[in-house]
Structure 1
């Protein structure tokens, strides 16, 4: 079993280097800390991949057949450590980004370092996942192409559950342009963008389908300039979550068909991440369950969740993907973010065992 003290110490190194996704300099500095740790553990420096100023890290051992996916950016702004310092209290690891997902990054590096033969392993640690991976999506899909499996080190579900399905995400901004007029003197000469936006918002909210697991949620809303002016402009954002690609396409068609009565309508955005459908993880979940049993690790569930990850991208190009292999804890993006320390060595051993099985499976196939 991996040493808990070393794992926690290395998590502390990463957490103490703040890395808000929107601060490219901070992300670059964080990447150097991850790179240094990885080089100490793996004996080789990573490839530094800078895309539009954002720093990602990759290790490749031979031709990768299994890709480990993680990210080192967080949602926490600079200065959060002053209020929420890294610490370990009664077996609970705390600090910004410890759960989502710097513990998972450390686990990935330790698991690969423990392998006698790393041939066929790839590691990709990105720096913009919390923004929706705009700069790393192509890189993720490129590195995953041709792999037997993608293992995602995002945090586990409650009780250590692995994530076997994730909803796809689409993000839209609906812009409505009307015509301004004085609200008291001649409102009839205006075209009220706020009213038309409200009508469209209700239509958009009706696109959800509880039976299909599709949620369509209008969120940020704005309209108007002054209290005595008919609003000439209005806009609202829409968050869409879907279980299947067919539902993602259905909602996209409906969104693009929106029209105003008198105002003009412009739609921005679209699908951000494809759904990670449950079938993508079935075989890998069964294998992980067998590995856990062999290690004496208690059984865990396989769950479907509404949140998305970079596993959506790997699954979206047809690579079998298992997610939630990282930290056990809770409080992602909240002040009570935490990791249960005793599970860290156990989960790292599970990842190591899963890697061994997948790599030996590949060797057996090549020997035939």
Structure 2
């Protein structure tokens, strides 16, 4: 199929892709909700078998289902996730909606449209025997059960293409910040908040001190590093000095050295209140994805874009992390952001530009076709 034919074929699939996108967004895949994840995996397993001509291996780890279509001599791995950040029931309040070629709904951009485009692109290829596909069910909760599977499949691949969303301009992602996740837990001493507050050690106050210290850790690097307190909990009743409190912390940085600096600082935190005790759990989760590793794949992507008559995408640096961080850390050439063009991931205004779905589908198909024609020693 010529480049022009590829793009034309992708355009003809627009109605089918729209229907599938509505179906997939309506099939909720809430983080950690095993019944919802299993139902969504069932749907995707059928779509994948249809285009790849082979059934998925359903890899279940701690109850979380992941879908794998391995190839015997795997030159390219297409990687994505089907879980979202949205709790079950969100789709009833914010159903899939299309207004002026803009689609909205929970998970539409991150990354259900990317999955629809991935399967559409595979259907345009004459030979999928050297292409592996992996769709995981826990990326949004840290890839705890899928990381080993991701790294194993990446290690036997010549290149990894991640179908997470592009930037709002359509740029692909050549670099990503690394990330760490922590939980700080404080143990104080309970007391009556009205009669004898002085006898207590207020764990919530101690956590407040630590939150301000954490914010300063990010500011120390000029703002390039983010140290963000997120989920906060503490106390039992309104008339009791809190005996225990905790805060979750999200860290993002461009270099491994910076992640290590923050890690050491967090592990070195000391309580401010006398008699308070502090524990730190967690650590570095994903190392940064560096641009140099992605450059050959970006060059190939731009060549394919020219051949199908669309503007070559630029390579963007993204502050958020993805499973591409894991594959790049292994030294496997990795290019991210090959999914839908849209924005608002993890926000209520999450959207996808439907007009660009055929273009992105053709681009992915052309890139995969080019890479599978190259020697397995691409990297």
Is TM-score (shorter-chain normalized) higher than 0.5?
Answer: yes
Task: Identify the residue that residue 255 of structure 2 maps to in structure 1.
Answer: 244
Summarize the alignment of residues 1-368 of structure 1 with structure 2, pairs less than 5 Å apart.
1=7, 2=10, 3-182=13-192, 189-208=199-218, 209-211=220-222, 213-225=224-236, 229-261=240-272, 262=274, 263-362=276-375
RMSD: 2.3
When structure 1 is superposed on structure 2, of 18-27 and 221-230 the one drifting more is: 221-230
Output the CA distance in 1 between the equivalents of 2:197 and 2:350: 51
Change (3 A) 1:272 1:44: same
Q: 3-state SS of the aligned residue for 1:342?
A: helix
Change (3 A) 1:246 1:38: same
- Report if the CA contact (8 A) 2:98-2:104 is conserved: yes
Output the CA distance in 1 between the equivalents of 2:66 and 2:90: 23
Deviations, residues 343-363 of structure 1 (Å, cap 9, x unaligned): 111111111111122112226
Change (3 A) 1:115 1:259: same
When structure 1 is superposed on structure 2, of 226-235 and 199-208 the one drifting more is: 226-235
When structure 1 is superposed on structure 2, of 112-121 and 30-39 the one drifting more is: 112-121
Output the CA distance in 1 between the equivalents of 2:89 and 2:193: 46
Deviations, residues 300-351 of structure 1 (Å, cap 9, x unaligned): 2221122121111111222121111001122323343322222111111111
Deviations, residues 221-277 of structure 1 (Å, cap 9, x unaligned): 344445565443232222111111111111111111122253221111112222212
Unpaired segments ≥5 residues, structure 1: none
Output the CA distance in 1 between the equivalents of 2:203 and 2:97: 51
- Report if the CA contact (8 A) 1:273-1:308 is conserved: yes
When structure 1 is superposed on structure 2, of 187-196 and 334-343 the one drifting more is: 187-196
Q: 3-state SS of the aligned residue for 2:257?
A: helix
Deviations, residues 47-73 of structure 1 (Å, cap 9, x unaligned): 111111111111123221211001112
Output the CA distance in 1 between the equivalents of 2:98 and 2:237: 51
Q: 3-state SS of the aligned residue for 1:32?
A: helix
Output the CA distance in 1 between the equivalents of 2:168 and 2:318: 11
- Report if the CA contact (8 A) 1:13-1:33 is conserved: no
When structure 1 is superposed on structure 2, of 246-255 and 197-206 the one drifting more is: 197-206
Q: 3-state SS of the aligned residue for 1:206?
A: helix
Q: 3-state SS of the aligned residue for 2:151?
A: helix
- Report if the CA contact (8 A) 2:158-2:377 is conserved: no
Q: 3-state SS of the aligned residue for 2:217?
A: coil
Q: 3-state SS of the aligned residue for 1:171?
A: strand
When structure 1 is superposed on structure 2, of 5-14 and 283-292 the one drifting more is: 5-14
Deviations, residues 72-120 of structure 1 (Å, cap 9, x unaligned): 1222333333333334433233333221111111221222232222232
When structure 1 is superposed on structure 2, of 276-285 and 330-339 the one drifting more is: 330-339
Q: 3-state SS of the aligned residue for 2:17?
A: helix
The number of equivalent residue pairs is 366
Change (3 A) 1:257 1:115: same
Deviations, residues 169-192 of structure 1 (Å, cap 9, x unaligned): 111111122233455666554434
Output the CA distance in 1 between the equivalents of 2:239 and 2:150: 50
Query: How far did 1:197 drift?
Result: 3.0
State TM-score, norm by structure 2.
0.88
When structure 1 is superposed on structure 2, of 333-342 and 309-318 the one drifting more is: 333-342
